[in-house]
Structure 1
Amino acid sequence: MNFSLSQRLLSEFLGTFWLVFGGCGSAVLAAAYPALGIGFLGVAFAFGLTVLTMVYAVGPISGGHFNPAVTVGLWAGGRVPTGIVVPYIVTQVVAAIAAAAVLYVIASGKPGFELGGFASNGYGELSPGHYPLISAFLIETLLTFFFLVVILGATAPSAPAGFAGVAIGLTLTLIHLISIPVTNTSVNPARSTGPALFAGAAYISQLWLFWLAPIVGAAIAGALSRTLYKPEA
Structure 2
Amino acid sequence: MKKEIAEFIGTFTLVLLGCGSAVIAGGEIGFFGISFAFGLALIGMAYGIGPVSGCHINPAVSLGAVAAGRMNMPEAVRYIIAQVAGAIAAAIVLLLIANGKADYSVAENGLGQNGWGAGYLGEYTMGAAFVFEVVATFLFMVVILGATGPGAPAQFAGLAIGLALVVIHLVGINITGVSVNPARSAGPALFAGTQAIGQLWLFIVAPIIGAVAAGLLFKTGKLDS
Q: Which TM bucket (shorter chain)?
A: over 0.9
The answer to whether 1:80 aligns with 2:74 is no
Give the match's secondary structure for 1:125. coil
The answer to whether 1:8 aligns with 2:3 is yes
- Contact 1:96–1:190 (CA<8 Å) still a contact in 2? yes
Amino acid at match of 2:185: S
Aligned to 1:214: 207
The answer to whether 1:62 aligns with 2:57 is no
The answer to whether 1:21 aligns with 2:45 is no
RMSD: 1.1
User: Runs of 4+ in structure 1 displaced over 4 angstroms?
Assistant: none
Q: Please give the per-residue CA displacement for 1:64-109, whole angstroms capped at 9, x wherever unaligned.
A: 0000000011110011122211111111011100000000000011
The range that moved more, 107-116 or 8-17, is: 107-116
- Contact 2:146–2:224 (CA<8 Å) still a contact in 1? no
Q: How does 1:108-119 map to 2 (within 5 A)?
A: 108-115=99-106, 116=108, 117-119=110-112
Give the TM-score taking structure 2 as reference length: 0.96
Q: In 1, Cα distance between the equivalents of 2:85 and 2:11? A: 9
The range that moved more, 23-32 or 110-119, is: 110-119
- Cα displacement (A) at 1:126: 4.9
Amino acid at match of 1:76: A
Q: How many residues align?
A: 222
> Structure 1: any 5+ residue segments left out of the alignment?
1-5
> Structure 2: any 5+ residue segments left out of the alignment?
none
- Contact 2:24–2:98 (CA<8 Å) still a contact in 1? yes
- Cα displacement (A) at 1:228: 3.0
- Cα displacement (A) at 1:160: 1.4
Amino acid at match of 1:124: G
